[in-house]
A = this chain, B = another copy of it.
Amino acid sequence: MHAPIVEGIRRELGEEVTVRVATLDEPDHGLTDEVLAETDVMTWWGHAAHDSVSDAIVEKVHARVLDGMGIVVLHSGHYSKIFRRLMGTTCSLIWRSDPGGERELVWTVSPSHPIAAGVPQPIVIPHQEMYGEFFDIPQPDELVFISSFAGGEVFRGGCCFTRGAGRVFYFSPGDQEYPVYHQAAVQRVIANAVAWCGGVSRPIGPVAGRHGNRARDWYLG
């Protein structure tokens, strides 16, 4: 599953990034404190096994996102604990998995957004599971892609959010049944999203220090 995602990120971002893979069955799902501290951007894919993810690890990932780590949530990751925790909503949707799937078209509605750079209008995905509205998420800060399906449904499939100091991008294309992650345009979006999520500022005084009791005129120091 993760091989084509990794390959796409490496091809598009090259020397700029180091990619590492963590899986559910590793201790701490591979997400130790050290790994989290060193990670600038995480991609998250999951399916069926969301409930097997440790609540304690989810809390740690959540805290890291608020502290500035980016996270790119992919496809059925919409139902992951971490995405629902970040959104505060059910993240439910309508779906259909007919044999062979159906054609999805991914339309850019924010053409100058960095995540849309070099992305064809539309991306044509021949075989895909259908995800449709109503998608129960907060209104995105920026909506980059909207998908349509052969069955007529639509889906806000490319959504930007900022939570705390961290950036979140949800991207719906991708499935364990079809070779979606092998399409160059899909890989390109994921790589762009990783770059965008990692493009946050490192402010003077982190967000973590931006709360608490302050004496009058504290800033005149």
A interface vs B, CB < 8 Å? 66, 68, 85-90, 92-98, 102-103, 105, 107-122, 124, 130, 132-136, 138-139, 141-143, 146-154, 156, 161-167, 192, 199-205, 207, 210-217, 219-220
Contact = CB atoms under 8 A, between A and B. Distances in A.
Contact of A117 (B120, B134, B149, B203): B203
27 contacts: A66-B89, A66-B136, A68-B112, A86-B88, A89-B163, A92-B210, A92-B212, A94-B213, A95-B212, A107-B153, A107-B154, A108-B133, A111-B134, A111-B207, A112-B164, A112-B166, A117-B202, A118-B202, A121-B204, A122-B219, A130-B214, A136-B164, A136-B211, A148-B148, A148-B149, A151-B216, A152-B219
Given A96-B215, A138-B141, 8 more contacts: A66-B136, A98-B216, A111-B134, A113-B201, A121-B134, A136-B211, A138-B162, A154-B154
A51 to B, nearest CB: 16
A139 B142 CA distance: 8
A71 to B, nearest CB: 12
A9 B74 CA distance: 38
A114 B139 CA distance: 16
A199 B109 contact: no
A146 B133 contact: yes
A108 B95 contact: no
A114 B219 contact: no
A116 B217 contact: no
Nearest to A118: B204
Contacts of A150: 152
A124 B201 contact: no
A116 B201 CA distance: 7
A94 B210 contact: yes
A95 B141 CA distance: 27
B201 A112 contact: yes
A112 to B, nearest CB: 4
Contacts of A220: 124
Contact of A116 (B111, B112, B203, B213): B203
